Chains A and B, each alone.
Chain A
Amino acid sequence: MKVGIAGAGGIGSNVAVFLARSGVRRFKLVDMDRVEAGNLNRQFYFRDQIGRFKVAALAENLRRIVPDAEIESLVARLDNASMATCFDDCDVVVEGFDGRAEKKMLLEALAPGGRPIVSASGVAGCNLDGIRTHCFGQCTVIGDFCTDADQSPCHAPKVALVAAMMAHVVLEKGGYYDCPTQK
């Protein structure tokens, strides 16, 4: 199974690490940002990676867990047209964008192809009790669906919890719990 990671922030980086630890070996990482000091409270990067492109730093971190992982890294801001084709070779796409409009754009762009998407909505703040899973078209959305990052800061426990639940859905879809050594 090849997993597309759309956005390598708190969600994308943590989901990718959970998947690598669980047996996923093929990734396509897409993000345009560089690692900043303010990311380190929740995103899977290290202080000595500040200033590097996130996709390059994440690929390095994933390979520290799985040296033979096949990782394609793309530094890009996706628009509507490129989102529709960027993940053509992926079996499932993890939506880890920060912005609401980009989240919507990804779901709508991938809708016609029917490719499974696992998405996040509501990862900010520190209230964990409202986190739930909602199936929506071919998409599974996880989060509290109400706390916007504009209103509350993002903290590691909630971001990592949502990321773990998203990774769980990807592993279920890929049949990894049935066959843990599958690549």
Chain B
Amino acid sequence: MQITINGKIEQMDACTIDQLVRRQGLKPEALVVEHNRRIVQQAHWQEIQLREGDSLELLRFVGGG
């Protein structure tokens, strides 16, 4: 399966957003995920199965404001 993550095309096995985040070793506490231009609440990461051609943006917030 081919999907785009932060602008880069990547090959990977089928998975959910939740599985992808864990596989990449990302800490979910400050991570916001955009799937096909829509922000997905963390509560729904397990429900969304990624498909061929999907686009993901993974934004890790840093503190300060």
Contact = CB atoms under 8 A, between A and B. Distances in A.
Contact of A121 (B34, B39, B42, B61): B61
B62 A100 contact: yes
B32 A104 contact: yes
A166 to B, nearest CB: 10
A111 B38 contact: yes
Interface residues of A, number: 38
Interface residues of B, number: 19
B39 A100 contact: no
Contact of A108 (B29, B39, B62, B63): B39
Interface in A84-107: 95-101, 103-104, 107
A137 B55 CA distance: 12
Interface of A: 7, 9-12, 95-101, 103-104, 107-109, 111-112, 120-124, 134, 136-139, 141, 143, 145-150, 154
